[in-house]
A and B are shown apart, each in its own frame.
Chain A
Amino acid sequence: MIEKDAFGFFVVIALMTIVVYLTRITGYWLIGRFVIGPRLRRMLDALPGAIIAATVAPSLVQGGPRAILALAATLTVMIVIRKDFAAVVAGAAVAAAAFAYGL
């Protein structure tokens, strides 16, 4: 998909670079001119968690029992030992085992 439209890919990368850089500098630039109230601050605080949680949705909806088992394993390991790398490896291992069992 991406290879077929290399030019479009580079255009999108360039535009994304600009957008990301603007988010990095705009808060710094604006703060002297504009006050962020408690309501807006709570919304911005909630944004990373909402995005991260939303990202998992397609795997849960389309991945079936294999994905649900694997992600539950990741969640469990992460809650217990709080090591993200170990949690991801555990999830991948459960997914591989579920695949071997035909899930």
Chain B
Amino acid sequence: MTTPQPSSEHARWTLAAFRHGAADVLPFVPGLAAFSMAYGTLAARKGMTLFETLLMSATVFSGVVQMVVLDGWPEVLTAGAIVGILALTALINARYLMIGATLRPLLGGEPVHKVYPTLFFLVEPSWLMTLRYHSNGGRDPAYLLGGGVTMYAVWVTTAIPGYIAGAAVGNPQQFGIDLMVPAFFVAMMVPLWRGVRRSWGLIVGALAAVLTEYLIGGFWYLIVGAVAGCIAGVFNDD
């Protein structure tokens, strides 16, 4: 807000741009729905109620965080465990610091009471589409909000069938359901792979996590893997 954008003749916060943003994220819906169903299945297996499952999606609204925290939920919820969960949450979502920073040109001159609620719905698909929209000359922030709200609605509702399926299955190993979450993460690694010289974070993160899990166990594999990978990322070629 220190550098207000020059006022423009273009209309802002229009319903048309909201709809446009909503339509442009539709290709992401199947992947997101599958991810949310996997989350619902995991939540059912962890003994959460359906209300708790949907409440977490509707408030936290961050797939990887929800999955990872539920998967490693401690037996006893000590203060130390809560600090660990919150540190992990911040670490996993640290990428939003970069994502949010890139939105300054679009949102910089907009009123605070519209910008900050819009940022609650910020997710990667809506952000990616918004970058394209902005580089094509689009200037209405409702585009970002439309994409985000659409992703939010899909994320919250599609956990329900996953939850029901997860609660119905007796032994999850029989159908490979116990490995669906790790399989999702393996699948997500493929598009992130950019050759050895640009993927040090991924390589070091994986090795450090396996080693930590093998030697120590508990929640630590993720924190050690994430921090080690993050530091190794310094050596990535641009």
Which residues of A line the B interface, CB within 8 A? 1-3, 5-6, 8-9, 11-17, 19-33, 36, 38-39, 41-63, 66-67, 70-71, 74-75, 78-79, 82, 84-85, 87-88, 91-96, 99-100
Contacts and interface: CB of A to CB of B under 8 A. Distances in A.
Given A75-B190, A85-B34, A95-B173, A46 B236 contact: yes
Contact of A92 (B115, B120, B183, B221): B183
Interface string B62-84: 10110111000101010000100
Nearest to B34: A85
B168 to A, nearest CB: 15
B1 A48 contact: no
B90 interface: yes
B202 A49 contact: yes
Nearest to A45: B233
B60 A27 contact: no
Contacts of B222: 51, 54-55
B30 A85 contact: yes
A39 B2 CA distance: 26
A43 B101 contact: no
Contacts of A85: 30-31, 34
A30, A42, A55 interface centre (most CB from chain B within 10 Å): A55
A36 B95 CA distance: 13
A93 B145 CA distance: 38
A96 to B, nearest CB: 4
Nearest to A91: B183
A94 B173 CA distance: 11
B229 interface: yes
B100 A27 contact: yes
Interface residues of B, number: 99
Interface stretch (B14-22, B129-137, B151-159, B206-214): B206-214
Given A14-B59, A42-B236, A2 B68 contact: no
B1 A32 contact: yes
B197 interface: no
A6 B203 CA distance: 38
A62 B212 CA distance: 12
A3 B49 contact: yes
B205 A13 contact: no
14 contacts: A9-B52, A16-B86, A27-B98, A42-B238, A44-B94, A44-B230, A48-B192, A50-B233, A53-B185, A53-B229, A54-B221, A75-B189, A84-B187, A88-B180
Nearest to A86: B187
Nearest to B175: A96
Contacts of A99: 173-174, 176
Interface in B67-121: 67-69, 73, 75, 77, 82, 85-86, 89-101, 103-104, 107-108, 115-116, 119-120
Contacts of A20: 60-62, 65, 89, 93
A63, A84, A93 interface centre (most CB from chain B within 10 Å): A84
Given A46-B201, A63-B179, A23 B96 contact: yes
A44 to B, nearest CB: 5
